[in-house]
């Protein structure tokens, strides 16, 4: 199963007749035992986004297992995102305070209190994308990772580790 196989489901979501609760129980997703956070961010929110499909449309979704992991800050310093949106993380890193203030107030409060994001981003083991790949790649959460990089650059409080959902084959 890949993103193209799910396009009829994405179309129903686009048409507005499919909220997340109904989406997550759709028979088309029966083969996936993914956490709701991952289903929401990967498929429901981005499963038909053009650049996202360009970068991840080839993946066999049924072979990916997701675990919530603690990732050291240093690992995010140069972590890439998909080729179709290269440079987007650094775009967000240029104005980290702005990108936090346009979110609900609890997002900024969480950064100030805990030095990290409120919701874990999605990362993917690059070997899942390419057998010769090394390290992790930001699949979803480019704004969050950009804010982290920008906060580091501006010497604002950043925790030493951050929760992230990590997908591996």
133-154 per-position pLDDT tens digit: 999 999 999 999 999 999 999 9
User: Tell me, what's the pLDDT at 30?
Assistant: 87
Q: How many CB atoms lie within 10 A of CB 68?
A: 12
The span from the CA of 147 to the CA of 116, in Å, is 9
**Are 76 and 106 found together in one domain?**
yes
Is 90 exceeded by the pLDDT of residue 155?
yes
Number of structural domains in the chain = 2
Average pLDDT across the chain, whole number: 94
| 149 shares a domain with 115 | yes
Which H helix or E strand runs over 68?
strand 65-72
Q: What are 79's strand-pairing partners?
A: none
What percent of the chain is predicted at pLDDT more than 70?
Answer: 100
Instruction: Examine the fold and report which residue of 60, 76, 102 is the final residue of a domain before the chain moves on.
Output: 60
What local confidence, expressed as pLDDT, does residue 15 receive? 79
pTM: 0.94
Residue-wise pLDDT tens digits, 16-71: 778 899 899 999 998 899 999 999 999 999 999 889 899 999 999 999 999 999 99
Rounded Cα gap, residues 34 and 30, in angstroms: 10
Q: How many helices (H) and strands (E) are present in the chain, helices listed first?
A: 10, 4
Same domain for 7 and 21, yes or no, is yes
Among 28, 45, 60, the domain boundary falls at 60
- Domain span holding position 108: 65-168
Tell me, what's the pLDDT at 90?
97
The string of DSSP codes covering 93-110 is HTSHHHHHHTS-HHHHHH
- The DSSP-derived string for 105-160 is HHHHHHHHHHSS-SS--EEEEHHHH-TT--SEEEEE-HHHHHHHHHHHHTT----S
- Can you tell me the distance from the alpha carbon of 102 to that of 60, in angstroms, rounded to the nearest whole number? 35
Looking at the fold, whether 84 and 126 belong to one and the same domain comes out as yes
List, for residues 90-102, the tens digit of each pLDDT value: 999 999 999 999 9
């Amino acid at each position: 199963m890949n993103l193209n196989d799910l396009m009829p489901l994405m179309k129903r979501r686009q048409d507005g007749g499919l909220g997340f609760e109904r989406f997550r129980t759709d028979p088309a997703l029966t083969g996936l035992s993914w956490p709701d956070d991952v289903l929401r961010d990967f498929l429901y929110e981005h499963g038909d986004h053009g650049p996202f499909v360009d970068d991840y449309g080839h993946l066999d979704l049924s072979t990916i297992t997701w675990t919530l992991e603690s990732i050291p800050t240093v690992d995010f310093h140069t972590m890439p995102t998909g080729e179709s949106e290269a440079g987007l993380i650094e775009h967000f890193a240029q104005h980290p305070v702005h990108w936090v203030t346009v979110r609900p107030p609890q997002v900024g409060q969480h950064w100030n209190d805990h030095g990290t994001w409120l919701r874990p981003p999605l990362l993917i083991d690059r070997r899942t994308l390419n057998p010769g790949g090394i390290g992790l790649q930001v699949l979803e959460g480019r704004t969050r990772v950009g804010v982290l990089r920008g906060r580091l650059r501006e010497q604002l409080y950043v925790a030493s580790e951050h929760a992230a959902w990590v997908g591996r084959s």
